[in-house]
């Protein structure tokens, strides 16, 4: 693990109750991995099931933490402001329930200037939940 739950907000701009990742597990120039346990006080639960939009947010926050961590290794500061420029090829397979742990993998497909095209996949217990491509702009 690279960043634990206590330190994750050093690398992302979101604060409770909008934090949707617990730990950054892996990060290098080619991609990132995070984990997130769904507690029963999660704001995005509907009758015990996490919403699609929060899974997309989980992918975006994994990117924020990953880019923040990688850039911090280059001395560029820990938390950098970023924006979702576009979401495409979104596919929702299954929604997770309270108590599940989400494992999210990001592959950086291409970079042009400050714009990154990524492929994100969120899974739980080996089952794919959601995948999409995103354009992330780092300010």
Position among 42, 79, 115, 119 found at the interface with other proteins (CB under 8 A): 115
Q: Distance between alpha carbon 39 and the CA centroid of its chain, in Å?
A: 17
Q: Does 113 bind other proteins (CB under 8 A)?
A: yes
Q: Does 16 bind other proteins (CB under 8 A)?
A: no
Q: Spell 83-119 as b/e; 16+ CB within 10 A means b.
A: eeeeeeeeeeeebbeeebebbbbbebeeeeeeebbbb
Position among 15, 16, 40, 112 found at the interface with other proteins (CB under 8 A): 112
Number of residues that bind other proteins (CB under 8 A): 12
Peptide bond into 17 cis (omega under 30): yes
Least distance from other proteins to the Cβ atom of residue 130, Å? 21
Q: Which residues bind other proteins (CB under 8 A)?
A: 85-86, 109-113, 115-117, 135, 137
């Amino acid at each position: 693990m690279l960043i634990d739950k206590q330190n994750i907000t050093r690398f992302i701009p979101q604060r409770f109750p909008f934090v949707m990742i617990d730990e950054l597990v892996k990060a290098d120039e080619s991609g990132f991995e995070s984990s997130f346990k769904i507690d029963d006080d999660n704001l995005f639960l509907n009758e015990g099931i996490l919403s699609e939009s929060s899974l997309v947010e989980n992918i975006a926050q994994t990117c924020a933490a990953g880019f923040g961590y990688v850039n911090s290794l280059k001395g560029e500061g820990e938390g950098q402001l970023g924006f979702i420029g576009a979401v495409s090829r979104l596919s929702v397979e299954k929604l997770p329930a309270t108590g599940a742990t989400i494992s999210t993998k990001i592959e950086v497909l291409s970079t042009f200037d400050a714009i990154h095209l990524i492929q994100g996949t969120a899974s739980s217990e080996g089952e794919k939940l959601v995948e999409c491509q995103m354009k992330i702009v780092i300010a």
